[in-house]
Homo-oligomer: A and B are copies of this chain.
């Protein structure tokens, strides 16, 4: 049993209103020193078997086809 993490973030050129709203709120809450925030998604994918080559390839395919929308999002993948 292994766990693969897929991180999905909006492409840099796509406006991220959620991240922006957070960044805007920070100074009001007394937090300075943050120049920007971006919000994305994190998926924990639990595998039945080990995170071998074949399994990773499968998760990559899941990420590509389902977890991320390649039109607006990038993803990265790592084993935990």
Seen from chain A, the residues whose Cβ lies within 8 Å of a Cβ on chain B are 1, 7-9, 19, 22, 25-26, 29, 31-49, 55, 58-59, 61-62, 65-67
Neighbouring B residues of A34 by C-beta, 8 Å: 45-48, 59, 62
Residues in B whose Cβ lies below 8 Å from that of A7: 42
- Identity of the chain B residue whose Cβ is nearest the Cβ of A46 in the assembled complex: B36
Q: Are B55 and A22 neighbours in the complex by a CB distance under 8 Å?
A: no
- Decide if A62 touches B26 in the complex (CB within 8 Å): yes
Q: Which residue of B lies closest to A7 (CB)?
A: B42
Evaluate contact between B9 and A33: CB separation under 8 angstroms. Answer: no
Q: A31-B62, A38-B44 known; 5 other A-B pairs, CB under 8 Å?
A: A9-B42, A22-B66, A26-B66, A33-B48, A36-B45
Contact A39 B41 (CB under 8 A): yes
